[in-house]
């Protein structure tokens, strides 16, 4: 059987748009069994499996035991998880920003930093309902509509991140992680210490680490989707790294491998799409 990959993206319902950037439906079949790296990202982990559960054999936090998930939920992270697969993977990945954690789950994203849980353990039966409905629906539009319906029911728009931290997060993301923290402090009007404390309590990391993760994700996407004649050094420069060695160090620490090894070993990732076209 030849390997095949199907990736379909869609935008969420308008009510969910402030919290979810897009949905990614994925189906991958015919690959050799192996390990997939769940890499640091500007999105929280929120993946609903269809069929076999998500088999996390190495968590981002080594103190957390390996576990299978029907609907995996996790905060931001600064290291990679390892997911075992038998060559077949199918599900819906929800590109949930940390600004949506309070609205959907009733807790700040920082409460889930560097950890993974079964969604139902946080939100109760509705988390199981989300997984069950997706098992019964064969087409991507129906699956996305089910996500819209259930997540809209879960959402509490009054439980939102404050305007200053919302602005800080979105500004870091829009800059690709290149905005200096000094500039962020200057624009927001808080002291550096106050910003660091409030940011960490809400998102689980310092602004500097968040910027580093955002920049790493941008470089990772660019490495995978640019032609082979574009060098890693050129990608590093485009993403605001000092040089290729700087990018290599970030890959080693955040992904647990080098850029070249990751490109050679990784099967297509559900983290790849930047969002729906149009």
Write out pLDDT tens, residues 197-255: 999 999 999 999 999 999 999 999 999 888 888 899 999 999 999 999 999 999 999 99
pTM of the complete model:
0.93
Question: Contact at 8 Å (CB) between 165 and 71?
Answer: no
pLDDT of the residue at 273? 54
Q: Helix (H, G, I), strand (E, B), or coil: what is residue 20?
A: strand
Cα-Cα end-to-end distance for the chain: 33
What mean pLDDT do residues 58-66 have?
Answer: 96
Q: Which of 106-110, 140-144, 202-206, 273-277 has the lowest mean pLDDT?
A: 273-277
Residue 151 Cα distances to 126, 130, 241, angstroms: 9, 8, 37
Write out pLDDT tens, residues 125-135: 999 999 999 99
pLDDT of the residue at 268? 57
The fraction of the chain above a pLDDT of 90, given in percent, is 87
Domains of the chain (ranges plus CATH)?
4-154 (2.60.120.10), 163-265 (1.10.10.60)
- Helix or strand run (H / E) with residue 7: strand 4-10
Write out pLDDT tens, residues 94-115: 999 999 999 999 999 999 999 9
pLDDT of the residue at 229? 84
């Amino acid at each position: 059987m030849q390997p095949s990959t199907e990736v379909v993206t869609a935008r969420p319902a308008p009510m969910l748009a402030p919290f979810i950037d897009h949905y990614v439906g994925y189906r991958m079949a015919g690959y050799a069994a192996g390990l997939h790296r769940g890499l640091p990202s500007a999105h929280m982990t929120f993946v609903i499996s269809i069929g076999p559960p998500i088999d996390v054999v190495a968590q981002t936090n080594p103190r957390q035991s390996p576990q299978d998930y029907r609907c995996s939920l996790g905060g931001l992270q600064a290291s990679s998880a390892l997911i075992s697969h038998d060559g077949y993977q199918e599900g819906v990945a929800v590109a949930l920003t940390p600004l949506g954690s309070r609205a959907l789950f009733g807790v700040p994203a920082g409460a889930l930093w560097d950890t993974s849980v079964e969604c139902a353990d946080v939100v109760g039966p509705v988390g199981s309902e989300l997984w069950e409905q997706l098992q019964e629906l064969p087409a991507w539009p129906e699956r996305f509509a089910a996500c819209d319906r259930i997540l809209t029911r879960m959402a509490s728009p009054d439980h939102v991140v404050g305007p200053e931290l919302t602005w800080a997060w979105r500004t870091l993301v829009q800059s690709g992680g290149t905005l200096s923290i000094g500039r962020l402090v200057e624009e927001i009007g808080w002291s550096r210490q106050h910003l660091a404390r409030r940011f960490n309590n809400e998102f689980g990391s310092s602004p500097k680490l968040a910027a580093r993760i955002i920049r790493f994700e941008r470089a990772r996407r660019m490495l995978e989707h640019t032609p082979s004649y574009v060098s890693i050094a050129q990608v590093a420069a485009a993403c605001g790294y000092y040089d290729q060695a700087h990018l290599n160090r970030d890959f080693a620490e955040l992904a647990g491998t080098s850029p070249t090894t990751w490109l050679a070993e990784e099967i297509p990732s559900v983290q790849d799409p930047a969002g729906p076209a149009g």
